[in-house]
Amino acid sequence: MILLCVLMVCITSPVAGVEERQGDDECADINNTTWRGYRQQRLKLQVQYLLLTRGNVDCAQTFNQESLAKQPSYFNASRPTKVIVHGYRALGSKPSWVKELAGALLRAQDVNVLVVDWVYGASFAYNLVVENYKEVALQISVLINQLQKHGCKLESFHFIGISLGAHVAGFVGTLFEGKIGRITGLDPAGPMFKGADTYDRLDPSDAQFVEAIHTDSDYFGISIPVGHVDFFLNGGKDQTGCARSRFASIFVYFPVYGYVICDHMRALHVYMSTLNGSCLLKGIPCSSYEDFLKGHCVDCDVFRGTCPAIGLSGNSGIAISPIPKEQKLFLLTTSSPPFCVHHILLKLEVSPLGKSAEVEVTLRTEDLGTEQRLRLQTSTTVYRMVLAHPVALCEIDSIKLKNTGARFYRQGDIHFNSVCLSEFPSLRREEPLCVNNINIRRGAPWSHDFVQVCDFF
């Protein structure tokens, strides 16, 4: 009873203060909880909403039905609304990235940003949190219904859900029978969702357009496609610059947490970086990462040549209709913003070998280098592989090849009929850069300088 009264005061007092809030004297923040506070509380979900717009980028307002009725309000029903939904909070802390994501969204578009704060329901025991997520979605749907009465169109809502938040968004979408405009799932949660029915997890029927970015599908993320398009970054499992740990799932609760969720959080950081607009991260359709790495998928012909890009462009830039479903897209990234690389296809053709061999390939552009080791088998003469290079094909200064088989059972000389480099996806279908008929002795590096100019029109 007492708790309830406290709550009532909490809910009603900010409403009374809305006029002053407009004057920016008090800013709202996402809540947090401690283990002690969590155990003491009786009411599990204390969902609150924060509003951020270009008018109050640095000072979030608490937002609820009552604040809708108040005028003036920063909320503008004729503008689209982005809804940010955070995920599981192992330690009950508030998600620290929310401000950065909201800021990046507001720099990119003049929209209403609503942040769903369900830290209380999202903290500590993961299995209990999973029990809460539909209730949170139900509460959000009540708010959306209210907003519709104030003139907001269902298709103008874009949910951005992180981890478990992606499934919350998915269930809101289910409640509105897929009429919500867009859902972006940032590494949608995997544990307890992978085998779930589409009703219970994010899936393409939840919104007019559903996209997902996968960065940790072997631990915290989901490994199956859940959207119209699914971007698998570096294969979707392990990210460059994140330490690998076999014990990741055991240490979830403790200080290493921040470190083991590096892969999982990469989806969010990449998304924020694309909102900043520094470069385009485009995905290439392919059936598996292995095929992608072998250079079997180098174009976006299924999308009439336009590769889907991570970011805010409508339907990820897909112009074909109907939009495909559960289309896997692959791309490589670097380990830090802006994350973009150039995908270079390396194709080697060797004369038949008597023994297996190992080759080291290095591409150089000034002080930037990309190195790749490659095993050559006696049974194969054509090799294709994809390399991530920091700059475009036309800026590559040299290629170096080294026959590194130092041990006696390795091949002595290797004869390359051709070594070719091309960049993809490429609209201009430029000619590959090739070097033909080279003989490389064991241990003796060979290199070739390219003389080329970039024709960036």
Ligand X SMILES: *[C@@H]1O[C@H](CO)[C@@H](O)[C@H](O)[C@H]1NC(C)=O
- Cα separation values, 444 from 42, 359, 372, 404, Å: 72, 11, 17, 8
Residue closer to ligand X by CB (options 44, 325) is 44
Stretch near ligand X under the rule CB under 6 A, chosen from 28-36, 166-174, 205-213, 313-321: 28-36
Q: Which entry of 163, 273, 316, 422 is annotated as an active-site residue?
A: 163
203: Cβ contacts below 8 Å, ≥ 6 apart? 170, 210, 226, 227
Q: Please, what sign has the CA dihedral across residues 200, 174, 282, 187?
A: negative
Residue closer to ligand X by CB (options 278, 439) is 278
Q: Which of 22, 46, 208, 372 binds ligand X (CB under 6 A)?
A: 46
Q: How far is the CB of 408 from ligand X (least distance, A)?
A: 50
Q: How far is the CB of 55 from ligand X (least distance, A)?
A: 8
Residue closer to ligand X by CB (options 4, 125) is 4
First to last CA, the chain: 71
Residue closer to ligand X by CB (options 47, 350) is 47
Q: Which entry of 228, 264, 269, 389 is annotated as an active-site residue?
A: 264
Report the alpha-carbon distance of residue 104 to residue 425 in Å, rounded: 27
How many residues make contact with ligand X (CB under 6 A)?
16
The type of residue at 177 is E
224: Cβ contacts below 8 Å, ≥ 6 apart? 194, 326
Stretch near ligand X under the rule CB under 6 A, chosen from 189-197, 245-253, 266-274, 377-385: 266-274
Residue closer to ligand X by CB (options 337, 390) is 337
Report the alpha-carbon distance of residue 152 to residue 130 in Å, rounded: 29
Q: How far is the CB of 311 from ligand X (least distance, A)?
A: 12
Q: How far is the CB of 274 from ligand X (least distance, A)?
A: 9
Q: Which of 205, 276, 306, 334 binds ligand X (CB under 6 A)?
A: 276
The 320-359 site mask, x for binding ligand X (CB under 6 A), equals -----------------x----------------------
Copy the structure tokens of residue 180: 């919500």
Residue closer to ligand X by CB (options 257, 446) is 257
Please choose, from the candidates 260, 258, 199, the residue with its C-alpha nearest in 3D space to the C-alpha of residue 226. Answer: 199
Stretch near ligand X under the rule CB under 6 A, chosen from 271-279, 341-349, 352-360, 426-434: 271-279
Assess 272 for contact with ligand X (CB under 6 A): yes
Residue 264 bears catalytic tag = yes
Stretch near ligand X under the rule CB under 6 A, chosen from 171-179, 187-195, 269-277, 361-369: 269-277
Residue 296 bears catalytic tag = no
Stretch near ligand X under the rule CB under 6 A, chosen from 204-212, 270-278, 362-370, 431-439: 270-278
Q: How far is the CB of 306 from ligand X (least distance, A)?
A: 24
Residue closer to ligand X by CB (options 140, 348) is 140
Residue closer to ligand X by CB (options 281, 363) is 281
User: Residue 423 pairs with which residues in a beta bridge?
Assistant: 344
Taking a C-beta distance cutoff of 8 angstroms, is the pair 29, 94 a contact? yes
Copy the structure tokens of residue 382: 């054509």
Stretch near ligand X under the rule CB under 6 A, chosen from 217-225, 267-275, 385-393, 422-430: 267-275
Q: Which of 79, 134, 347, 442 binds ligand X (CB under 6 A)?
A: 79
Report the alpha-carbon distance of residue 199 to residue 409 in Å, rounded: 57
Helix (H, G, I), strand (E, B) or coil at 89: strand
Q: Which entry of 187, 203, 206, 263 is annotated as an active-site residue?
A: 187
Q: Which of 32, 145, 372, 404 binds ligand X (CB under 6 A)?
A: 32
Sheet holding 414-424, edge to edge: 382-389, 342-350, 414-424, 433-440
Taking a C-beta distance cutoff of 8 angstroms, is the pair 145, 70 a contact? no
Q: Please, what sign has the CA dihedral across residues 114, 120, 126, 131?
A: negative
Helix (H, G, I), strand (E, B) or coil at 364: strand
DSSP state of 55: G
Return the number of other C-beta atoms located less than 10 Å from residue 294's C-beta.
15
Residues 86-125 within binding reach of ligand X (CB under 6 A): 93-94, 104
Assess 372 for contact with ligand X (CB under 6 A): no
Residues 57-76 within binding reach of ligand X (CB under 6 A): 76
Report the alpha-carbon distance of residue 180 to residue 159 in Å, rounded: 9
Residue 163 bears catalytic tag = yes
Residue closer to ligand X by CB (options 214, 269) is 269
CB burial readout 307-336, b (16+ within 10 A) else e: bbbbbbeebbbbeeeebeeebbbbbbbeee
Q: How far is the CB of 31 from ligand X (least distance, A)?
A: 4
Residues identified as active-site = 163, 187, 264
Q: Which residues bind ligand X (CB under 6 A)?
A: 10, 29, 31-32, 46, 76, 78-79, 93-94, 104, 269, 272-273, 276, 337
